[in-house]
Structure 1
Amino acid sequence: MSVAELRRRRTFAVISHPDAGKTTLTEKLLLFSGAIQIAGTVKGKKSGRFATSDWMEIEKQRGISVASSVMQFEYGDAVINLLDTPGHEDFSEDTYRVLTAVDAAVMVIDGANGVEAQTLKLLEVCRSRKTPILTFINKLDREVREPLELLDEIEQHLGVAAVPFTWPIGMGKEFQGVYDIQRDQVRVFRAGQESLGGAVETLQNIGDADGEARFGYHWKRTKEEVELITGATPTFDRDAFLAGQQSPVLFGSAINNFGVKEILDALVDLAPPPSPRAAVQRAVSPDEAKFTGVVFKVQANMDLAHRDRVAFIRVCSGHFERGMQLKVTRNNKTFRANNVVSFLSQRRETVAEAYPGDIIGIPNHGTLSLGDTLTEGEDLQFTGLPFFAPEIFQTIEVVDPMRAKQLGEALKQLGEEGAIQVFRPIHGGATILGAVGQLQFEVVSHRLSAEYKVAVRLMPARYRLSRWVTCDDPAELRRFTDSYEARMAYDASNAPTYLASHVSEIEVAQKAWPKIVFNELREHSGAPFKKAM
């Protein structure tokens, strides 16, 4: 295991509320690293250019991200593993699972809207895992809220100390640049100037007279605000940042390429290299000699021509080499990892080796599932990936009965992928789909038609709630499922699930069966659930 290679790795996710500029920032990070030569745009339908991270056809049609994407590239001496996540709350489960695979996160905030609902949810997940967060306040070239107000909102709502690294000089049409508090310098803003290979005008140790002559009254106001915040905010402490207690804050405009390089530099300088990962049996250190990895995402049909199914694996320890024999601890089966790839979204390269922090993909036909742990032989099980109880339910039927088998196989794949939750009623009848938001149903319907050539009808189900049921006594769980057979279903992992139309039905069942636990959250660890016999 090369310690030098380990220290080079930076693995992070970009998170935000929808339309804060997350995918635009992702494109510009790729542009500044040299990974791509032309940045796509989420609105580039007429030009035929789309965001590199938006590879699904429905993403290109709608201009939104509906699935997380993985991109690996080099920047300076660092190897960056960047994960772009869906901003829309309907796809929050995918984002939550991605956050289990990263060591840091970049939080993008729309300067006009501030901290929004989805941002709060994502930050709660980061805080629970003590994930270090770097904050980028975007769209300073537009009319935005006062920086002091935004800083106060970050601290109040997110519960972290916001430490400004830069501060804006003017806003909107009068946005003229940022003052770099750490380096005591000014970077001058001109729309679009800061492009790959382009020089940004930087002013060192600018005095008040020169500053006012160059920037007018905005300079005086910036200096006053900087003096105020430096006295009111704590000094940046990297240990506090790594513990998730402080967040460096940078201002800029991703669409205009301004402030993007500073984010990359901050990630390389401040974000941690791969850290130990918790398994049920023990903590796994990244510098251990033996390879371990965990499947945090499964994506079907990335390449329609080959009908492939790719398992995305976070390397947790050791040194991966192509052709090595790996064990799936869920079922003790072994295989040789010959066909392994790295990603720049849908573009792939064959991987000869990988180190902790890297994200690798293994194409397979159902061998690997969400939460699977891979080792060189040791029986380990990394702690699970979150699944949340759905809030909307619909029944699904195939339009052409001759395609029923294809629908069953498609739903099996989509359920294992985590694109939607699939419930099979114990007593038979139509399959039930569960989702966090309505858009999930639209995406699944589109994918069934486009990827699997299966036309379906979706209809509202009579259920409104679900709970995964568990019990320390298998016999008691069996008696419960027998008593409520009409309300019971199995999900994609064969976890028994109680379906209800109203919360009172759950409350009544809880009182009648005190030994049964009704779970709103299920952590999927790759270990199979056994059906109640």
Structure 2
Amino acid sequence: MLAVRKSRKLIDIGLRVKLKQIYPCTCTAQTVLYSTRKLGEVAANVEDIRNIGISAHIDSGKTTLTERLLFYTGRLGEMHEVRGKDLVGAKMDFMELERQRGITIQSAATYIDWNNTNINIIDTPGHVDFTVEVERALRVLDGAVLVLCAVGGVQSQTFTVNRQMKRYQVPCIAFINKLDRMGSNPARVLSQLRNKLSHNAAFLQLPIGLESDHEGVIDLIQQKAIYFKEPYGLNIVEDVIPQNMRTEADHKRQEMIECIANVDETLGEIFLDERSPTEQDIKAAVRRSCVARNFTPVLLGTALKNKGVQPLLDGIVDFLPNPSEVTNYCLDNSKGIDKPERVVLNPERKHTNPFVGLAFKLEAGRFGQLTYLRIYQGGLKKGDVIYNTRTQSKTKVSRLVRMNADEMEDVSEVFAGDIAALFGIDCASGDTFVNKGNMHLSMESMFVAEPVISMSIKPAKQADIDNFSKGIARFTKEDPTFRVHWDNENKETIASGMGELHLDIYSQRLEREFGAKCVLGKPKVAFRECLLHTVEFDYLHKKQSGGQGQFARIIGKIEPLPAEDNTKLSFEDQTTGTNIPKQFISSIEKGFRKACEKGGLSGQKVAGLKFIIQDGVTHPVDSSDLAFSTAAEMAVKEIYLDPVWNILEPIMMVEVNTPADFQGSVMNSLTKRHAVITGTDALDEYFTLYCEVPLNDMFGYATELRSLTQGKGEFTMEYSRYCPALPDTQEELIQTYQQDIEQSHTKKKKKN
């Protein structure tokens, strides 16, 4: 008994694709745009909205999957590959660099309609160097699709994405992709999802064949087989479960019900009463437990071969939350910035509620700065005046658009739950916007990782200095993990980022977008200096030899922070009475932080310290902010002379995948780089090695790995934590710093 399921929309697309093949000039992507709403309209009901992100490890198929989502919902007239032979490239990778390298660099937003539900999608990068793109996307999304490779399974960046989802409490659906690849094993991936990521996960589908024999999936909830016919997968044929898979399907269905019943009270009662749950009972239980992040539904398919995408769309609508099912908070600072109160935001789509929106991403558009805005409360329409709570500035909304990758569609108004973009607003990533009278409201900020690598950067030609400066100003504003500063000692500009690729990409973008070809220097690791144990101080700063005097005495101690906070600086005021007036406390903190910009051991930044001010003495005339700031700075610099300091270095989590034949040589090369092996994994003829290596020892490893494995090996790495550097590394850094000081003194003497 066969049932062929074809929507009018999909039949239309299929006809247009075939027409395109016969009459290339008669059908363009622009003509194939379907929507149940008119241009400029958004969904009226909050239950008809989903805000999701597509996140995964590198090369798991995120962008290819997004391309299929756009095609099957009518947003695209034809599909293209990430590295297509027609040189078109995927819709969401619209930057020239992305299409050239075959990777996603910037997150891109779009929206689709499926079953009368508006789905806002953000396609995020997989490379760890661009992890901030994933971070800020998940900060504003209500749900996510975690894409896993059926061969690679849970990989290094999967852990990072999983931590980010946990940080922002984002429910997710797991989609095991690439079932058509040689060596695909979805059962192994499910086991890793449970054991490595600690997800209560279960299959909602089973694969019908794997690798080249993959034909479709078995829906365990509806208990039927689904086949995807035609090269484009437009015909969805539903049939009974194959005879040879019925036992396995029954077993897996029971396993799925048990996993859900363990975390869902309603289904648990049905299970304990030994009643058979209906299809509606299971779907409702999956949705409740998924929204509560107690259960992760696992769906299957292969985006490249156009199988399993439409059921995933159904799963997004059926199981991921709408904006009203997610509790979002803002901070009410009406009682002072030091005593903010968390307030629950109202998700109702009404203009009567106070407007609250978060600018989560900035991008340079053709008409100026493009600001991506997530609306959390109230509504916004063209002509409204909104206020930036950080800068207190007001802006009139002249244009309001929804993004489809690099294309814009004007809308007249947006409401709570929508994602839109504005032009001509001067702001930074993470700023909160409100309407008049609500300046005391602000959204909680997102987590931004500290840069781990630095390089000197300068324009190849002095004539390009203006364009170079414009590009640097724009990129540092767009990306909070890309930072640039002037090193006054070495007289050079230093760019800091999350990895070599990160800095290399921005160097190329400066040349392509601003015409400023750049020269990058040797990579420098962001080392840190830290105290080994607590040191007390009692410092008197006194200058009363004529003119306006300076007097400040401070007493306290500096102690190391715990290992998990060794990249932070902390300040605590324990003074009592009026020995140090409270207005000078902020100046003391300022002096402390200024002194920590450069340590005394190797000239690196100081971190992992807690400065505690306990007492002090003031002068009725000569005490001032400058005096106390200088006293704190000099107190820290005096402690630099004590031999109680240590150098910290960034440790990277490294994952190496190679053919098993090269296992020995790869392990030897990593051991020479001071790697600590944390785990291994073998699959057929391939070998995966997990280890932790100091970043300082990883330069040039890509070239070495290629030569060791005949070009067949690949590796990924991401920042893990800071740890004490090896004795040899510390000694080398100290000697280099001393030599630099001597050279600097020599140059000054020659000038004089």
TM-score, with structure 2 as normaliser: 0.61
- Give the aligned partner of residue 374 of structure 2: 314
Higher deviation after alignment, 181-190 or 114-123: 181-190
| Equivalent residues of 1:276, 1:284 under 8 A apart | yes
Q: Which amino acid letter does the alignment assign opposite residue 377 of structure 2?
A: S
Q: Which amino acid letter does the alignment assign opposite residue 92 of structure 1?
A: T
Map 1:503-514 → 2, pairs under 5 A: 506=607, 510=609, 513=611
- Give the aligned partner of residue 668 of structure 2: none
Bigger Rg, which one: 2
| Equivalent residues of 2:402, 2:410 under 8 A apart | yes
- 1:486, distance to aligned residue in structure 2 (A): 4.5
* Percent pairwise identity: 25
Q: Does 1:479 align with 2:519?
A: no
Q: Does 1:370 align with 2:482?
A: no
- 1:267, distance to aligned residue in structure 2 (A): 1.2
Rounded Cα–Cα distance in structure 2 between residues aligned with 1:485 and 1:439:
26
Rounded Cα–Cα distance in structure 2 between residues aligned with 1:320 and 1:164:
41
Long gaps (5+) in structure 2:
1-41, 262-284, 333-342, 529-566, 573-584, 614-631, 633-647, 651-718, 720-752
- 1:481, distance to aligned residue in structure 2 (A): 4.0
Map 1:208-287 → 2, pairs under 5 A: 211-212=242-243, 217=244, 219=245, 222-223=248-249, 226=252, 229-230=255-256, 233-235=259-261, 236-274=285-323, 275-281=326-332, 282-287=343-348
Q: Deviations over 1:2-41 (max 9, x none)?
A: 9943221110000011111110000001111111111221
Q: Does 1:414 align with 2:475?
A: yes
- 1:175, distance to aligned residue in structure 2 (A): 2.0
Rounded Cα–Cα distance in structure 2 between residues aligned with 1:119 and 1:8:
29
Q: Does 1:157 align with 2:183?
A: no
- Give the aligned partner of residue 295 of structure 1: 359
Q: Secondary structure at the match of 2:448?
A: strand
Q: 1:441 aligns with which of 500, 503, 524?
A: 503
- 1:88, distance to aligned residue in structure 2 (A): 1.2
| Equivalent residues of 1:299, 1:309 under 8 A apart | yes
- Give the aligned partner of residue 73 of structure 1: 112
- Give the aligned partner of residue 35 of structure 1: 75
Rounded Cα–Cα distance in structure 2 between residues aligned with 1:311 and 1:3:
21
- 1:101, distance to aligned residue in structure 2 (A): 1.0
- Give the aligned partner of residue 186 of structure 2: 147
Rounded Cα–Cα distance in structure 2 between residues aligned with 1:168 and 1:262:
13
Q: Deviations over 1:160-214 (max 9, x none)?
A: 211321111221122232110110110124573513xxx211114x4xxxx23xx
Q: 1:136 aligns with which of 142, 155, 175?
A: 175
| Equivalent residues of 2:220, 2:249 under 8 A apart | no
Rounded Cα–Cα distance in structure 2 between residues aligned with 1:409 and 1:7:
43
- 1:506, distance to aligned residue in structure 2 (A): 3.9
Q: Secondary structure at the match of 1:255?
A: coil
Q: Which amino acid letter does the alignment assign opposite residue 479 of structure 2?
A: G
- Give the aligned partner of residue 349 of structure 1: 409
- Give the aligned partner of residue 385 of structure 2: 325
- Give the aligned partner of residue 20 of structure 1: 60
- Give the aligned partner of residue 445 of structure 2: 384
Q: Does 1:200 align with 2:236?
A: yes
Rounded Cα–Cα distance in structure 1 between residues aligned with 2:612 and 2:520:
36
- 1:372, distance to aligned residue in structure 2 (A): 1.0
Q: Which amino acid letter does the alignment assign opposite residue 354 of structure 2?
A: K
- 1:391, distance to aligned residue in structure 2 (A): 1.3
- 1:145, distance to aligned residue in structure 2 (A): 4.2
Map 1:52-71 → 2, pairs under 5 A: 52-71=91-110
Rounded Cα–Cα distance in structure 2 between residues aligned with 1:165 and 1:372:
40
* 1:121/1:326 CA distance change after superposition, 3 Å: same
Map 1:480-499 → 2, pairs under 5 A: 480-484=592-596, 486=598
Aligned length: 486
Q: 2:156 aligns with which of 117, 121, 125?
A: 117
- Give the aligned partner of residue 29 of structure 2: none
Rounded Cα–Cα distance in structure 2 between residues aligned with 1:344 and 1:470:
43
| Equivalent residues of 1:425, 1:487 under 8 A apart | no
Q: Does 1:432 align with 2:494?
A: yes
| Equivalent residues of 1:426, 1:485 under 8 A apart | no
Q: 1:335 aligns with which of 387, 390, 395?
A: 395
* 1:35/1:243 CA distance change after superposition, 3 Å: same
Q: Secondary structure at the match of 1:201?
A: strand
Q: Which amino acid letter does the alignment assign opposite residue 376 of structure 1?
A: N
| Equivalent residues of 2:448, 2:481 under 8 A apart | no
Rounded Cα–Cα distance in structure 2 between residues aligned with 1:330 and 1:389:
22
- 1:234, distance to aligned residue in structure 2 (A): 2.9
- 1:396, distance to aligned residue in structure 2 (A): 1.3
| Equivalent residues of 2:43, 2:118 under 8 A apart | no
Q: Which amino acid letter does the alignment assign opposite residue 296 of structure 2?
A: S
* 1:403/1:3 CA distance change after superposition, 3 Å: closer
| Equivalent residues of 1:448, 1:455 under 8 A apart | yes
Rounded Cα–Cα distance in structure 2 between residues aligned with 1:200 and 1:26:
19
Q: Secondary structure at the match of 1:280?
A: strand
- 1:469, distance to aligned residue in structure 2 (A): 4.2
| Equivalent residues of 1:406, 1:454 under 8 A apart | yes
Q: Secondary structure at the match of 2:390?
A: coil
Long gaps (5+) in structure 1:
489-497, 522-533
Q: Deviations over 1:92-129 (max 9, x none)?
A: 11111111010000011100111111011101111222
Q: Secondary structure at the match of 1:158?
A: coil
Q: Secondary structure at the match of 2:105?
A: coil
- 1:449, distance to aligned residue in structure 2 (A): 0.6
Rounded Cα–Cα distance in structure 2 between residues aligned with 1:165 and 1:228:
11
Q: Which amino acid letter does the alignment assign opposite residue 389 of structure 1?
A: E
Rounded Cα–Cα distance in structure 2 between residues aligned with 1:162 and 1:499:
49
Q: Secondary structure at the match of 1:338?
A: coil
- Give the aligned partner of residue 218 of structure 2: 179
Rounded Cα–Cα distance in structure 2 between residues aligned with 1:499 and 1:474:
28
Higher deviation after alignment, 91-100 or 147-156: 147-156
Q: Which amino acid letter does the alignment assign opposite residue 96 of structure 1?
A: E
* 1:399/1:26 CA distance change after superposition, 3 Å: same
Q: Secondary structure at the match of 2:91?
A: coil
Rounded Cα–Cα distance in structure 2 between residues aligned with 1:249 and 1:154:
10
Q: Which amino acid letter does the alignment assign opposite residue 202 of structure 1?
A: E
Rounded Cα–Cα distance in structure 2 between residues aligned with 1:389 and 1:316:
28
* 1:157/1:110 CA distance change after superposition, 3 Å: same
Rounded Cα–Cα distance in structure 1 between residues aligned with 2:317 and 2:258:
27
* 1:221/1:391 CA distance change after superposition, 3 Å: farther
- 1:470, distance to aligned residue in structure 2 (A): 5.4
* 1:354/1:144 CA distance change after superposition, 3 Å: farther
